[in-house]
A and B are shown apart, each in its own frame.
Chain A
Amino acid sequence: MTDQYLRNTTPDSISGAVSACRGIKNSLVLINGPHGCKTYYSFGMGQTLPKASDLWGIRGELSVKDAFADDLLRSQYHTGSVHVPATNLRYEDFIFGTAGQLRRALDTVLQDRDYSLITVIQAPGTSLLSESLEPLLEDVSDRTGIPYLYIESTGLSGNFDKGYDDAVVKLLDRFARKAPAVKRTGARPSVNLFGLHDYQRYLEGDLEEITRLLDLCGIDVNLAICADCRLEDIRDLYAADANVLLTAERCGSTRDHLRKNSPIPVIDVGWMPVGPDLTERFVKQVSGALGTDCGPAQKYIEKTRAKIFYHIAKRTGGRGLPKDVRYAAEGEASMLYAFADYLTGYLGIVPEALHVLFDGTDTGGEEPLCTLLKEAGCEKALKSDISKVKDVILLGTANTIAHVLSYSGNVFGIETMCPSSGYIDVLPKTCLGCTGSLFLLEQILNGMRLLRAWE
């Protein structure tokens, strides 16, 4: 049942597809589904993510009109989100076909807003109808001049990463210009980032940190796919010098697609840079591939190492973190690998339980994790039940933290994924790179105090 709980509290493939598509600036993601799906994918999603109402884009393309557009949210197609409405289907639409209501919805929604992309995603029920809606979308697109993407099915019980990954491939396939774009002379090398999405707890801060690290390597970020990028950036995807894949599970099909179609190289990192060691490996790998100097980035990482040492030494007198402190974490295998590399490999904390989400994706993310745990003699963490842990620092979603707390009061939760508890971040935060190493350490040190306080 524990596995069921965690499975049920992790997002599904439609959420993944929605996340990918609404990660394109000013896109309209229309769920073609009944009122239930409408609520969950528009209102529910808004409530799940830190962006709250979705009126505010993470890079701030808020318009005052959206923020105060109460009339808009009063229409039958919206529930709390301007960018993810739904067609509000009724039973009869399943009989007569959904095209009529889809057209009405698009006509209304497109009336007073300029969107850069229309994505129509079929809800579970409508995906079974096998309707051919492309002619209608073609017609709307011709009339409005807005390109469209139609996702007929994301699978009925698929996981988030699969839905996200498949949607990214569809976007690339449909919109990326095949030939490499002409590069500006004298321009710095640039990369495309793959594997970032808004179910990460701190997407805005994550992007800032990776951009900062690459900048120190003399590399620009051309685009972070589906992380508030523009559709135009996707069209000019190959104006960059390389594609950087960050999380194996989120980039399985994308990797295959790029290897087959991309005229620029693919740098398959496979994990997120968490902690100073992986961060250093990351900058070396990317700058090595592009022939730039990563010295300034290394200097930045070195200073971070010094700061980490200072804070640990200050609190523990050089003995290191207390040996009885344990941590537990959930996430994709590659994310767990990154956390384990920092928390176990670098900080020396023993993992109590590591729960792999979205297992069975077969994207190669588990191998590095297993190797790392074997070398550390901690393989049993993969078999432990995360819902039964106590006296631990727990990295995961707020759902899992609440669940574990319902069994044991002595747990310190660190949110690394959504859904979150609802804490509003005004200052961007991150678990990645140098800033992330320090932010995680800060929480761990304070968490240890809390755990001790309960003893």
Chain B
Amino acid sequence: MQIAVYGKGGIGKSTVSANLSAALALKGEKVLQIGCDPKHDSTRLLHHGQKVVTVLDYILNTPEDAQDPKAILMQGFSGTGCIEAGGPKPGMGCAGRGILTCFEFLNKHSVLDPYGTIVYDVLGDVVCGGFAVPARKRYAEAVYIVSSGEAMSLYAANNILQGIRNLDPDGRRIAGIIYNSRGSGDEKSRVFEFAEAVGLPVCVSIPRSEAFSKAEKLACTLAELDGSYEEAQLFSGLAEMILQGPELFTAQPVSEEAMELFLQGKPFNVTPGGKATRPALSASAPSAPAKGSVSVNAAPAKKKALSDPFGRVPLFGCAFRGAVDLAVHVKDAAVLCHAPKSCTWYAVNGITSYSRRGLFDRGVLYPAFIPRQFGCTDIDIHDAVYGGAGHAREKSLELADRGIKTIIAVTACIPGLSGDDLEPLKEELKARGTDMYIVRTDGVEAGDYNDGMALCYRTLADEAIQAPDAPDADSINIVYEQTWSSRTDGDYEAMKRIFDALGIKVNCRFLCATSIEDVRRFRNAPCSIMARRDRLGAELKAFLQNKYGCRFVDGCFPEGFKQTADLVCQLGKLYSKERRAEALISENLGLYRAVMAELKERFCGTRTMVFLSRKNDWLAELTEDLGLDVVCACVPQSAGAPDTGWGRRFSAGWAEDRDRFAKKTSELDPELILTSDPSVVPDPRQGVSVITVPGSVLKGFFGAAEEARKWARLLDADIKGRWRDDRSVFEKYYS
């Protein structure tokens, strides 16, 4: 059983919660109490005032991979577990977010699992989405509201009912009112009158008593102080009631006007259905809260705490942007950004930068980068405060009315903060013949650009791909092409030439310049090929394999002659086109040898040093084919971690590697330095040529050879220019 104790601030929720937990524990229950208040004193009476490590402080100061839930779990009276969520300093941050984060942490580490009863002690009122967490469906099954007969306490109790009704209009979640007397006037009758008005029982009446002060001073519960106290017996009775399964009721707050009349002591009308005549329901057996999902191939990288100044590897682009950048590649779908204009502008501006550049640099228009069906809900402050799902509905229906059959809705941080739920909208649109796919990149915690792409990939892979309707044995899918590179088109064309030569058609490009129809027919192809390889790609591949049993070609788009020939061979076997494959390889091998012979004259025997941020197969093949004399090769990252180059670049290790390389350079006296990072050679000595090596080259048989041709041109035209001599003049006028 999971119980949430709500009530106005200072009304005694923590005292009630702790005494209730103690009483439950004495009845043999395994109890966990979670204090959901930034001031973190909910469990003090249970653990006798131990030094508290709150969950949020722990998360902030402990590297993610070193986090251990034992550090935040204290043992209290009679084996009770005690946890304090904690929160930011007053006036800073967002305590409600903190509660959400705390619960994510507890779920991730399965902290709640061993306990039979969990008592949530929740701050004051249902003040925001975060504090409403314990009242949400998957957490508390029974909600108790602590109230005295004071006006503001009852007012808060009514607000809490209102909040719970908003969360779960028809759910039976309320167990009743715990009347905690302040010992003033006729408060008892007011509490009972209110309880009747809202159709709830008063489960227990706790008198004002010195016993509480005594226990408070000793930092213990009444049960521990002296179980024979009458007040202790009251909690024992309440615990028994809970263990029996309390009757539960729907939240039926009275209207504000009626509440006002009530508080003034005037007659008032109760909202319909507000009497305690509604059928009660027994609480069901405790259910475990949902667990956080874990990435398929989570890398066990060492991390640092966020409070550590070096704990934040710079990330580039947010999840929202990553998802939008990918979604626009489904050409016949409308992309609806549920976001402020600011986010949309930067996403669109980023996307269209390819079209602008393409137009100017190459005179080519890339339609995928001029998204025509692109909407934004233009979230304003009203939406942020009150929720913007209605606004999203308006925009979506507009799109549907315009005949749009597929909408990809991508949500930004603000709807995440305000808790917008677009799921009902999805159903409504479905009934009108429009499919909506929701990519929930809503919130800073959704991750970075890659995480957003991953969400978009997963959403469409999971929801859009359908059973095969017309299988085509001579077709192939291309998965995970680079969507923001000017190379993508060239690579695709190069691969398509190879497929064409083998008589294989491209079935679906998932997701690059594609259509929702192609995505749906993904499974018509017997085989797929990954365009590139990294952690995200591996996760996507595993997902498609696990969910649909998709078959993949080994490796990805090939670079260099050898990889390309291997792939052609493999495709020949897979598609029973061995003879075509052999012919294709043999035809290109002759051409390749001729090109290499010509280039070898220029490069053979050149003393060369190589500095790469990651392993590079095509370069290894090329240096060999060109006959370069490689005297030193520095590749700081292992081959098994192809996506870590970026993080490496921002680490202290990078500077060490650079220094080592510089030392080697002066020792080995090379003629040529090939590097993926020219800043490792900031000031090369006279006579040394430095060439920046790209991370990848054009795919297919001749991409690497073309790269070598460029080197030759660079080396043959190494004229410095006299402009460098004018640095002093520049500094004179400009600095």
Chain A positions near chain B (C-beta within 8 angstroms): 1, 4-5, 7-15, 34-37, 39-41, 43-44, 47-48, 60-64, 70, 74-77, 79, 88-100, 104, 123-125, 128-129, 131-132, 155-159, 398-399, 401-403, 405-406, 419-423
Contact = CB atoms under 8 A, between A and B. Distances in A.
Given A7-B376, A156-B381, A402-B356, A92 B306 contact: yes
A409 to B, nearest CB: 9
Contacts of B649: 74
A44 B349 contact: yes
Given A15-B345, A421-B356, A8 B376 contact: yes
Given A1-B375, A156-B340, A419-B353, 20 more contacts: A4-B376, A37-B318, A64-B735, A76-B312, A88-B314, A92-B56, A92-B59, A94-B93, A95-B97, A96-B56, A96-B88, A100-B307, A104-B309, A124-B413, A128-B384, A129-B93, A129-B94, A156-B342, A398-B359, A399-B349
A76 B304 CA distance: 14
A419 B346 CA distance: 11
B349 A48 contact: yes
A444 to B, nearest CB: 20
B359 A9 contact: no
A13 B355 CA distance: 24
- Pick the most buried of A44, A62, A399, A402: most chain B CB atoms within 10 A of its CB: A402
A132 B380 contact: no
A94 B444 contact: yes
Interface of B: 56, 59-60, 87-89, 91-95, 97-98, 101, 306-307, 309, 312-321, 334, 337, 340-346, 348-350, 352-353, 355-357, 359-361, 365, 367, 370-376, 378-381, 383-384, 402, 413-414, 417, 443-445, 448-449, 649-650, 679, 727, 730-731, 733-735
Nearest to A70: B679
Given A128-B417, A422-B361, A62 B92 contact: no
A124 B321 contact: no
A30 to B, nearest CB: 15
A4 B365 contact: no
A398 B373 CA distance: 18
Contacts of A11: 345, 349
19 contacts: A4-B374, A4-B375, A8-B341, A39-B321, A40-B346, A74-B649, A76-B312, A91-B444, A93-B306, A94-B93, A94-B94, A95-B88, A124-B343, A125-B413, A125-B414, A128-B384, A131-B91, A155-B380, A402-B365
A215 B597 CA distance: 66
A9 B316 CA distance: 21
B341 A419 contact: no
Nearest to A90: B306
A421 B360 contact: yes
B251 to A, nearest CB: 28
Given A61-B734, A157-B380, A398 B356 contact: yes
Q: Give the top 5 A-B pairs by smallest Cβ distance, nearest first.
A: A36-B318, A97-B92, A40-B346, A97-B93, A421-B360
A402 B370 contact: yes
Contacts of B93: 93-98, 129, 131
A44 B346 contact: yes
A74 B371 CA distance: 32
Contacts of B445: 91
A47 B316 CA distance: 14
Given A60-B734, A125-B413, A39 B92 contact: no
- Pick the most buried of B56, B314, B414: most chain A CB atoms within 10 A of its CB: B314
B348 A79 contact: no
A422 B98 contact: no
- Pick the most buried of A64, A419, A420, A421: most chain B CB atoms within 10 A of its CB: A421
B349 A405 contact: no
A119 to B, nearest CB: 17
A407 to B, nearest CB: 9
Nearest to A133: B92
Contacts of B448: 35-36
Given A40-B321, A62-B734, A62-B735, A420 B356 contact: yes
B337 to A, nearest CB: 8
Contacts of A131: 91-93
B60 A92 contact: yes
A11 B352 CA distance: 13
Contact of A90 (B91, B312, B337, B379): B312
B435 to A, nearest CB: 18
Contacts of B88: 95-97
Nearest to A9: B348
Contact of A125 (B361, B373, B444, B679): B444
Contact of B341 (A7, A39, A95, A421): A7
A125 B375 CA distance: 20
